[in-house]
Amino acid sequence: MISDDQLTIVIPAYNEEANIRMVVGRVKAMKPHCEVIVVDDGSLDRTSLEAEAAGARVIRHPYNKGNGASVKTGIRAARGEYILLLDADGQHAPEDLDRLLEHLGPYDLVVGARTRDSDSAKTRDVGNWVFRSLASYLVEMKVPDPTSGFRCFKRDKVMDFIHLLPNQYSYPTTTTMSFIKAGYNVKHVPIKAHRRQGGKSHIRPIRDGVKFITIILRMITLFNPIKIFMPLALLWFILGAGYGLVNFFFANGKIPNGAVLLISISVLIFLCGLISEQIAALRFERSNLREYNREPEREQPAARAEISTAPQPQRVPTQVQPANTTGETVEADARDAVPLG
């Protein structure tokens, strides 16, 4: 089991004065000696003061940047080797912390996956179903809950993907899919989520509906885009080829311009998918290269210690001899000394 001094718990918060003291207090009761960071994302209420009163280390944004930006701030500021993320609205039970942490080691990312008996809004369940289906299709692996903010991982591993994380609400999906895409071991632990304990939800249907579409497009371009572009290209090609063949054999014996246009569109879609796939692959090769380069850095202290214990050649000083009759003197090493006489 991970010790408290190895763990940092990061809680992003925005206008959560009604909940944050209770959440931090319950976390401290479970992990009294671990570092707890509350990132106040430009709150307009007493969130920072309540978090400090509960014993958390508070980092405050000067203005609202987004939930993902708060998570990135907390990860960068964390002193612990392992990081656990927790929502500030009280929907995640701190009593479930150990259920996630016990799997770290064999697994690189452990996610608290909300079960069907969790207390959540029906509209949010529909959105989660879409994300879950799309994420599972793109990474070719079942992803029970890609949007859960209750998760833990090793800090140095998530730093490889931190540049990919958005500043808004899709950071959990991006984190999960990045770990899977990079070949890390991912574990989902069933948990029951609860309704927020107080305050108001920050979900806005119209605004977040637009963001919902943006997140889907981002997921497609970041992870395995060819799996979306290829079926689309094939569909347009079949339509164009079918239209052309029907006209050629059963109409006027000519291939219409519309058929050529449809086939041309299919080729363009395929090329866009191919380019997007190469860009996505380069992103993850860059992350893998950073991880590879970290290994020699870990060995450097030992190498320096080895070098320091090796015998060093001794410099033998010579006595200062008069350089000339004017009284000036010259200091030299033994290797520079010239025999007199």
| Separation of alpha carbons 266 and 237, rounded Å | 5
Question: Comparing C-alpha atoms, which of 117, 110, 101, 105 is closest to residue 27?
Answer: 101
Mean pLDDT for the stretch of residues 173-180: 90
Mind listing the pLDDT tens digit for each residue in 268-323?
A: 999 999 998 888 777 666 655 555 555 554 444 443 333 344 444 454 444 444 44
For residue 341, what pLDDT is reported?
Answer: 41
For residue 276, what pLDDT is reported?
Answer: 86
Helices (H), the chain: 20-30, 47-53, 67-77, 97-101, 122-139, 155-158, 171-181, 205-222, 226-250, 257-309
| Separation of alpha carbons 24 and 120, rounded Å | 22
For residue 323, what pLDDT is reported?
Answer: 45
Structure tokens at 13: 């918060």
| Separation of alpha carbons 69 and 285, rounded Å | 24
Per-residue confidence band for 203, with pLDDT thresholds at 50, 70 and 90 = low
Residues 6+ apart with CB under 8 A from 162: 72, 75, 76
- DSSP assignment of 103-130: TBTTBSEEEEEEPTTS---HHHHHHHHH
Mind listing the pLDDT tens digit for each residue in 85-123?
A: 999 988 888 889 999 999 998 999 999 998 887 766 555
Mean pLDDT for the stretch of residues 31-44: 95
For residue 331, what pLDDT is reported?
Answer: 41
State the average pLDDT for the chain: 80
For residue 234, what pLDDT is reported?
Answer: 95
Mind listing the pLDDT tens digit for each residue in 56-87?
A: 999 999 999 999 999 999 999 999 999 999 99
Mean pLDDT for the stretch of residues 193-198: 72
Structure tokens at 341: 């006489």
| Separation of alpha carbons 37 and 58, rounded Å | 6
Mean pLDDT for the stretch of residues 157-169: 86
Residue length of the chain: 341
**Model-wide pTM > 0.75:** no
